[in-house]
Amino acid sequence: MIPLDQPRLRFTVHLRPVLGSTFQPTSFPDVGAAKFSRAGSGDSLLVESVQSMANRLEATAWDRAERRPAALVAALPYVRVCRRDDPDGYLTSSREEAHRLASAFVRDSTLDGRPMLDVIRDRLGLVKDTPLDYPRMARAVWELDPFCLLHGVFFSHKSWLGQPRFTRAVSSVIEAYDVREVFSGGRKADHVRHQLVAGESGTSEGYGSIPFHRVEWTASEIKAMFVVDVDLLRSYGLGADVTELLTLLALWEIRTLLARGLRLRTACDLEVVEQPKDLPDVVALESRIAALVGDVGAEPVTVLWKS
């Protein structure tokens, strides 16, 4: 195992396209592909953003098909959201929501009849004219959903005095270097309607044959980079076992994501050139995580969302 007395753990993994040589990077409204220049080198490209990689890492611990946590972490707490008129059903959870415990679906729910706005305020110890107590707040977050300490949560509502923020402890990004554009195109064919006639439904309704263009990219190098901030986790004062568990969960997410492959988009399917030797293998990680989770045995906190 990696010695956990290091302040940060860093890993760099080289990637390549699974099919052919081209890939499709992330794209932003009104910006398109995020191309940038590095000093002393050619054009570079943001393939996957930090925020998107956070979502992908977090998703490794959630079973989408079963709508519940992965078996390895099933004993750790999280907030399960149901509708008020269907308390035995399932709507969402703090593991799936973009803002986690600060999600509107959690915030606008009740727990045993109490508004979650009040529950979270009291558990975090948010009191007027009082400094934020991060160790206390971290313990409260741990008891509601430990993954918020890994992936961050911002309690930004005006009712939450001080609006505490827990920053990401595990971060990742994928970049490509020495990039070139690849222009191609195609045609959406209509084998039924061979020509468009005035007065009939046309291309805006999906009829007709329509040519299109597309831009993909090649690169001399594609790298995924990961950082786990062990010092940040240690600063919460949750004890050696909890700090180790959170750190190993971050490493397990990285290892699991790399092992499953990186199909980021339809035209962006990447594979690992060589698995990082300094990252523990998944069997060793799962064995130690299971031992640390051990007796936690927490049930999900079920809240009822207004509906």
Q: Compute the Cα dihedral for 158, 160, 163, 167 and give only its sign.
A: negative
- C-alpha Rg value of the chain to the nearest Å: 23
Please check whether residue 209 lies inside any domain of the structure: no
pLDDT at 116 over 80: yes
pLDDT over threshold 90, residue 128: yes
Angle between the N-to-C axes of helices 282-293 and 240-260, in degrees from 0 to 180, rounded to the nearest 10 = 140
The whole-number pLDDT of residue 91 equals 95
Please check whether residue 196 lies inside any domain of the structure.
no
Q: 83 CB contacts (<8 Å, ≥6 apart)? A: 89, 91, 304, 305, 307
Res 106: pLDDT:
97
Predicted local distance difference test score (pLDDT) of residue 305: 95
Q: Are 156 and 102 in contact (CB under 8 A)?
A: yes
What pLDDT score does 185 carry?
82
Q: Is residue 197 part of a domain?
A: no
In-domain check, residue 91: yes
Q: What is the mean pLDDT of residues 284-304?
A: 89
Tell whether 191 is covered by a domain: no
Q: Does the pLDDT of residue 2 top 80, yes or no?
A: no
**pTM of this structure:** 0.91
Question: Cβ-count burial of 155 within 10 angstroms (0-12 exposed, 13-18 middle, 19+ buried)?
Answer: buried
Q: In whole numbers, what is the pLDDT of the chain averaged over residues? A: 92
Task: Give 162-221 as a DSSP string.
Answer: T--EE--SEEEEEEEEEEEEEEEEEEE--SS--S--TTS--GGGT-S-EEEEEEEEEEEE
Domain count of the fold of the chain = 1
Looking up tokens 């979502």 gives: 55
Fill in the amino acid letter for 123.
Answer: R
**C-alpha separations of 109 from 9, 189, 232 in Å:** 37, 49, 30
269-286 pLDDT, tens digit per residue, is 999 999 888 899 999 999
Q: pLDDT tens across 50-107, in order? A: 999 999 999 999 999 999 999 999 999 999 999 998 888 899 999 999 999 999 999 9
Residue 260 falls within a domain, yes or no?
yes
Which domain, by its residues, includes 42? Answer: 8-182+218-305
- Predicted pLDDT of residue 53: 96
Q: Give per-residue pLDDT as tens, 147-170.
A: 999 999 999 999 999 999 999 999
Q: Is the pLDDT of residue 299 over 90?
A: no
Mean pLDDT calculated for residue range 115-142: 96
- Within a domain: residue 210? no
Q: Kindly tell me if the per-residue pLDDT of 1 is higher than 90.
A: no
With respect to residue 268, please indicate whether it lies within any of the assigned structural domains: yes
Is a pLDDT exceeding 90 seen at residue 201? no
- For 176-205, b/e burial (b = at least 16 CB within 10 A) is beebeeeeeeeeeeeeeeeeeeeeeeeeee
> What pLDDT is stored for residue 144 in this prediction?
96
pLDDT interval class at 200 (50, 70, 90): confident
- How do beta strands 79-83 and 301-305 pair? parallel
pLDDT at site 275:
87
pLDDT of residue 153: 97
